[in-house]
């Protein structure tokens, strides 16, 4: 931790977030073929070592820390989104955990979100899982719609991940 002073105030930086065991809140993911395909023999150990940080905000969904690979999850999203969306979002973020463990850069400003190699890879995996659980192409396309993408970007993402619209 580091304290910084200016303007008559002191800020403390480097505070560690409060982390909780992933498997305490998300059970059964270790048995999913899609997750076993990501982590192989290490599935149980990766998920048992994985931490999750819940944050309270009306904005945001889920993400993966590029500092230590833990998950960040909005309690609002967790509480108010339908089960299938949260389920697929967890699958998506676990893809990013795998990428992080492989030493890949999760956030790269050289690419638009819909063209980012790590995002395209994670969404392709998520799309495969969406199909496995019986979602139609239209339902998958709607799942992939997010407010920060324009319509043109949304269509590009669909193309990049092989969803027919």
Average pLDDT of adjacent 10-residue blocks, the chain of 165 residues: 74 76 94 97 98 85 96 92 94 98 96 95 98 97 93 96 91
CA angle, corner 140, sides to 118 and 126, nearest 5? 35
Domain ranges of the chain: 1-82
What is the structure's pLDDT at 86?
Answer: 94
- Here the tokens at position 85 are 């969306």
What is the structure's pLDDT at 32?
Answer: 95
Residues with Cβ < 8 Å from 165, sequence gap 6 or more?
137, 138, 141, 155, 158
What is the structure's pLDDT at 17?
Answer: 66
pTM > 0.85: yes or no? yes
- Contact (CB, 8 A) for 43 and 23: no
What is the structure's pLDDT at 3?
Answer: 75
For the chain, the distance separating the N- and C-terminal CA atoms, rounded to the nearest angstrom, is 50
DSSP, collapsed to helix, strand or coil, labels residue 10 as strand
- Contact (CB, 8 A) for 153 and 114: yes
Give the other-Cβ count within 10 Å of 38's Cβ. 20
What is the structure's pLDDT at 16?
Answer: 66
Helix then strand count (H, E) for the chain reads: 8, 6
Give just the sign of the alpha carbon dihedral 54, 58, 63, 68: negative
């Amino acid at each position: 931790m580091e304290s910084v002073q200016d303007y008559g105030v002191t800020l403390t930086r480097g505070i560690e977030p409060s982390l909780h065991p992933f498997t305490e809140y998300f059970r059964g993911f270790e048995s999913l073929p899609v997750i076993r395909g990501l982590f192989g023999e290490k599935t149980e150990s990766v998920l048992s070592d994985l931490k999750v940080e819940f944050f309270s905000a009306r904005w945001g969904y889920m993400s993966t820390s590029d500092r230590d690979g833990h998950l960040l999850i909005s309690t609002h999203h967790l509480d108010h989104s339908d089960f299938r969306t949260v389920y697929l979002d967890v699958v998506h973020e676990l893809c990013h955990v795998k990428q992080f463990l492989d030493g890949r850069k999760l956030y790269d400003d050289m690419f638009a979100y819909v063209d980012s190699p790590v995002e395209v890879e994670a969404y392709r995996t998520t799309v495969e899982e969406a199909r496995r659980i019986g979602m139609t192409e239209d339902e998958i396309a709607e799942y992939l719609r997010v407010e920060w993408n324009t319509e043109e970007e949304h269509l590009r993402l669909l193309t990049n991940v092989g969803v027919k619209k």
